[in-house]
Structure 1
Amino acid sequence: MNNRIKLNDKEKGVLLIEGIGTFLLFQIINVILVMASNLFFGSNDKKSFFALLHMDISHGNLSKILLLLALVIVLEIFISLHVVMKSYRQFQVKYFEEELSKIASGALDQRIDIQVNPQLQGLVTSINSLIENTNEHIAEQRRSEKSKDELITNVSHDIRTPLTSIIGYLGLIESRNYEDLDQILKYTHIAYNKSLEMQTLVNDLFEYTNVEHANSTLSMTKFDMAQMLDQLSADFELEANKRGMEIVVNADPERILMTGDTDKLGRVFNNLIMNAFKYGNDATHLWLNAKQTSEEVVISVANNGKPIPKDSLDHLFDRFYRVEDSRSKETGGTGLGLAIAQSMVKMHGGWIDVQSDPDRTAFIIHFPMNTQNTSEE
């Protein structure tokens, strides 16, 4: 809440002197006028002030005279207060200028927290709003810079590991530090696999930066979400069988017509399904469920494998984040898959959440209904 400015003793003294001085000045003017009247007309002339006052009193009009004098005094007090308020507003302007000078010098955490006259108060509010917007913009820039620094650090770390292995094994071959052809093939095989890891990271990074870019667009088409889930089930059936998992698809209603970029949505579900394969240890089922209501379409990709640790749930969609138990050669991963999925879902106006307990781990996607999304029975 804005506070009135607090005047120091000197400023208070200035206002007091101006108020009393103005009032006394009026009284002096009154005396001068009376004396001038008597001097001009003469004290015995009927037009003189004293003669008129004596005549009025003699006719019983004292109350009227007192009323007139009271009105004159009230008017003089009002004018005196007006002079004081004018000076007070000048102090307000002075204080405002001082605060504005501090802000202009770089103190953007400063706020002009004063209550002033209505004309100046609007300017105070506007400047405070400008400061807020400027600070938000600066904070956003700092977050962006920090995000870029983290991105560079993470990419450097994730590329350096396989690159070190590639250089190491190729260096052994280059220096002829091998026994036979089988050992050469072993070294080249390891270097090749590490190259594929780097390629996956670069591709994921390119896709992530692309969907995060402000100018990234969607190629919207109308499609059947239930049919897409059936197709995904068929595409991943062989991989699921290898892992001893059964894919189950449920759609309510049987056809869910909606509008979206099928390529990007396909990548979303590919990432979620591969995530379930990699990290859903001991899972026997993978459920692909879709349900349409009057307000949204909800799709879940769930498995009954090992639950995700609670302290990891809030970080799963962070770039390059991987659950500690999943940092192994068998699972690999760049730590960008879920971040890419989240960005693509956001591009469609939706949001994604995760729930995990000993019975089931589910990634749940919500797509709000709009005028383009319809269903047919």
Structure 2
Amino acid sequence: MKPGGIVKKLWLATTLLVILTMGLTTLSQLWLLEKTYYRQQSDRLLTEARAAAADLAEENNSQTVFQQLQGLANSLQATVFLTDREGTIVLTARSGWGHGMMHGMGLGMGMGMGHQWLSGNVSQSQTKVDMSQILAGAEIIYRGHHPMFNTEILTAAVPVKKAASVVGALVVNTPLQPIDNNLRALQGTSLYSLLGGLLLAALVSWLLSRYLSGPLLQMQEVAKSMAQGDYSRRVDVTRNDEIGWLAESLNSLACQLAEKISLLRRIDQTRRDFVAGVSHELRTPLTIIQGNAEALLDGVVKDPAKQRQYLNNILEETLRLRRLTSELLDMRKIELGEVILNKQAVDAVSLFNSVVNKMQDLAAARGIVLRFVPPSRPILITADSDRLGQILINLTENALRFSPPGGEVLVTLAEHRQALIAEVKDNGPGIPEEEQPFIWDKFYKVDKSRCRSAGGTGLGLAIVKQLVELHGGTVSLSSKPGRGTTFRFTIPKQ
């Protein structure tokens, strides 16, 4: 991905969205503003005209009527016509624009018109007033070009009533240009606000895009490093939202992948070591068996004691091969789930005592004291006696293998609540702390330089862990270099 590409895309998308939204909103606002403004002006003209018409109906003095009309014209910046029933203008008042003043004529309202303002008769077509609607009591509002003023005007006409009968009309004309100027000023303000809002939105969207895309770009770099095999890089998590959660997930993924890769490499290396070790384990006993057998067959060895020693060598190496084969088969069966426990009631004390007794000869041959410390009473559990015995044999053999001559291996047995607790303790060289987590891995050996002399294959402890877990128990160890190792396993009694 091109650096910064997502920033530009997010910014453009956000800006276009803001422009579209604000543009449509502003257009709607301008349209509503125009309609509302003209409606307000129309309502104002009608309201003022109604009030003036009501006052005229009560007034008989022509001078006062004119003053009222002139006051209305000044307040509305308009030209005001007073017409008779036929629509002929009989009185005009203006405020700085419109036609010349006209002399008055009688309206049939009982007014004595002592002053003349009308310069001539003007037809109702020029007032843009339909007198038939006025005579019917209707009010008229008109917006458009007026031939008399030769400009766009807004006209409001209301009937003038005397004793509940219409005697004329009051027509108020105001030019649209001042109204349009005010409206354009308001619309201009809206447009300037739109422009300022767009500029501000563009700036905010740019900053927001950088803020949102920063972690994404960093995650891309981390993912690229992971693809190249570098799992050490991490994303800085500084926010508690979906992007922050994604960054945490990526960090967790990198950590887990690093652990898995490390584990796979360790397993691969362990298997390589195992293949080399097994090859050595097979080659050495086979060489010894072949050499001793050929010596016996060729008659090279004449001394009966030497012949017996050669036969013992052949037997010992054969047993080593058998143990290796047996452990490999056991491990494969456990991994494939082919081991089915034959659980039954077992006296764990008797079982442990029997196993320890069987291994006394091996301990004596190595010059090691093997002791069993039983509890004061029997411990009955439900377990597979053969597999439970195999667990103890593997742990005891492991302890004897790494204990020095003159050392001691101690086997203890106890119960706690509803579980059996067993320990096998030696006073060997111990296991370094950094290697303890891997001791249960298949084919793993702590001291690879002593694998031949120790006689182990690296499968015994892996088999122990699998069998203990098949019984629903747990196994652990505690060890310090130079102070021996204690293996402890717990198995539920039921």
Aligned to 2:289: 166
Aligned to 2:130: none
- Would you say 1:263 and 2:383 are equivalent positions? no
Alpha carbons of 1:343 and 1:286: their partners in 2 closer, same or farther (altered >3 Å)?
same
Residues 42-61 of structure 1: matches in 2 within 5 Å? 44-46=152-154, 51-52=178-179
Alpha carbons of 1:71 and 1:249: their partners in 2 closer, same or farther (altered >3 Å)?
farther
- Would you say 1:343 and 2:471 are equivalent positions? no
Equivalent position SS for 2:374:
strand
For residue 300 of structure 1, report the CA deviation from its aligned partner.
1.2
Pairwise CA RMSD of aligned residues?
Answer: 5.9
Aligned residues of 2:368 and 2:409 also touching (Cα < 8 A): no
Aligned to 2:273: 150
For residue 161 of structure 1, report the CA deviation from its aligned partner.
1.3
Aligned residues of 1:169 and 1:187 also touching (Cα < 8 A): yes
Residues 72-151 of structure 1: matches in 2 within 5 Å? 73=193, 77=197, 81=201, 99=220, 121=243, 128=250, 135=257, 139=261, 142-151=265-274
Residues 1-377 of structure 1: matches in 2 within 5 Å? 41=144, 44-46=152-154, 51-52=178-179, 73=193, 77=197, 81=201, 99=220, 121=243, 128=250, 135=257, 139=261, 142-172=265-295, 176=298, 178=300, 180=302, 182=304, 187-213=310-336, 216-236=339-359, 245=369, 247-251=371-375, 254-281=377-404, 287-294=410-417, 296-302=419-425, 306-309=427-430, 311=432, 314=436, 319=443, 321=445, 332-348=455-471, 349-355=473-479, 362-367=486-491, 369=492, 373=493
For residue 347 of structure 1, report the CA deviation from its aligned partner.
3.2
Equivalent position SS for 1:46:
strand
Alpha carbons of 1:275 and 1:217: their partners in 2 closer, same or farther (altered >3 Å)?
same
Aligned residues of 1:271 and 1:341 also touching (Cα < 8 A): yes
Equivalent position SS for 1:307:
coil
Alpha carbons of 1:214 and 1:138: their partners in 2 closer, same or farther (altered >3 Å)?
farther
Aligned residues of 1:316 and 1:322 also touching (Cα < 8 A): yes
For residue 99 of structure 1, report the CA deviation from its aligned partner.
4.8
For residue 199 of structure 1, report the CA deviation from its aligned partner.
1.9
User: Which blocks of at least 5 consecutive residues in structure 2 are unaligned?
Assistant: 39-142, 146-150, 156-174
Aligned residues of 1:108 and 1:135 also touching (Cα < 8 A): no
Aligned residues of 1:20 and 1:80 also touching (Cα < 8 A): no
Deviations 1:156-197 (A, max 9, x none): 1211111222333445566x4726475666555533432332
Aligned residues of 2:235 and 2:251 also touching (Cα < 8 A): no
> Could you tell me which amino acid in structure 2 is paired with residue 250 of structure 1?
P
Partners of 1:336 and 1:197 in 2: how far apart?
A: 13
User: Which blocks of at least 5 consecutive residues in structure 1 are unaligned?
Assistant: 57-61
Deviations 1:98-139 (A, max 9, x none): 959x86x95576899699xx9985995799499669947973
Q: With structure 1 as the length reference, what TM-score do the two structures score? A: 0.61
Aligned to 2:85: none
Alpha carbons of 1:216 and 1:130: their partners in 2 closer, same or farther (altered >3 Å)?
farther
Alpha carbons of 1:214 and 1:123: their partners in 2 closer, same or farther (altered >3 Å)?
farther
Alpha carbons of 1:136 and 1:359: their partners in 2 closer, same or farther (altered >3 Å)?
closer
Q: Which stretch shifts more, 74-83 or 340-349?
A: 74-83
Partners of 2:401 and 2:279 in 1: how far apart?
A: 24
Partners of 2:408 and 2:15 in 1: how far apart?
A: 89
Partners of 1:18 and 1:202 in 2: how far apart?
A: 73
Alpha carbons of 1:193 and 1:234: their partners in 2 closer, same or farther (altered >3 Å)?
closer
Aligned residues of 1:173 and 1:184 also touching (Cα < 8 A): yes
Deviations 1:245-291 (A, max 9, x none): 46343327x34343333221110112233344454445586543223
Partners of 2:380 and 2:331 in 1: how far apart?
A: 27
More strand by share: 2
> Could you tell me which amino acid in structure 2 is paired with residue 353 of structure 1?
L
Aligned residues of 1:299 and 1:364 also touching (Cα < 8 A): yes
Partners of 1:134 and 1:256 in 2: how far apart?
A: 43
Aligned residues of 1:23 and 1:80 also touching (Cα < 8 A): no
Partners of 2:30 and 2:483 in 1: how far apart?
A: 101
> Could you tell me which amino acid in structure 2 is paired with residue 260 of structure 1?
A
More helix by share: 1
Deviations 1:285-308 (A, max 9, x none): 6543223224753211235xx432
Alpha carbons of 1:213 and 1:241: their partners in 2 closer, same or farther (altered >3 Å)?
same
Q: Which stretch shifts more, 240-249 or 264-273?
A: 240-249
Alpha carbons of 1:177 and 1:283: their partners in 2 closer, same or farther (altered >3 Å)?
closer
Alpha carbons of 1:158 and 1:19: their partners in 2 closer, same or farther (altered >3 Å)?
same
Aligned to 1:59: none
The size of the alignment, in residue pairs, is: 343
Partners of 2:11 and 2:444 in 1: how far apart?
A: 66
Larger Rg computed on CA atoms: 2
> Could you tell me which amino acid in structure 1 is paired with residue 477 of structure 2?
D
Q: With structure 2 as the length reference, what TM-score do the two structures score? A: 0.49
Alpha carbons of 1:106 and 1:298: their partners in 2 closer, same or farther (altered >3 Å)?
same
For residue 150 of structure 1, report the CA deviation from its aligned partner.
3.0
